[in-house]
Amino acid sequence: MTTDYTGMEERMVSLKKNERIDDLQRNHYKIIQDTDRFCFGMDAVLLSGFAKAKEGAKVLDLGTGTGIIPILMTAKTKAAHFTGLEIQADSADMALRSVKLNGLEEKIEIVTGDIKEAVSLFGAASFDVVTCNPPYMTEHHGLTNPKAPKAIARHELLCTLEDVISQSSRLLKPGGNLYMVHRPFRLADLIVLLRQYRLEPKRMKLVYPFVEKEPNMVLIEANRGGRARMSVEKPLIVYKEPGVYTDEIYEIYGY
Q: Where are the domains of the chain?
A: 41-89+107-253
Buried b / exposed e over 186-207, threshold 16 CB at 10 Å, is bbeebbebbeebebbbbbbbbb
pLDDT given at position 9? 44
3-state helix, strand, coil in the chain (%, to 5): 30, 30, 35
Report the C-alpha gap between 52 and 213 in whole angstroms.
Answer: 28
Q: CB of 69 within 8 A of CB of 44? A: yes
Q: Which fold has domain 41-89+107-253?
A: Rossmann fold (3.40.50)
pLDDT in 10s for each residue of the chain, 255 residues: 455 554 444 467 888 888 899 999 888 899 999 877 778 889 999 999 999 999 999 999 999 999 999 999 999 999 999 999 999 999 999 999 999 999 999 999 999 999 999 999 999 999 999 999 987 546 555 544 455 554 444 544 557 899 999 999 999 999 999 999 999 999 999 999 999 999 999 999 999 999 999 999 999 999 999 999 999 999 999 999 999 999 999 898 876
pLDDT given at position 5? 53
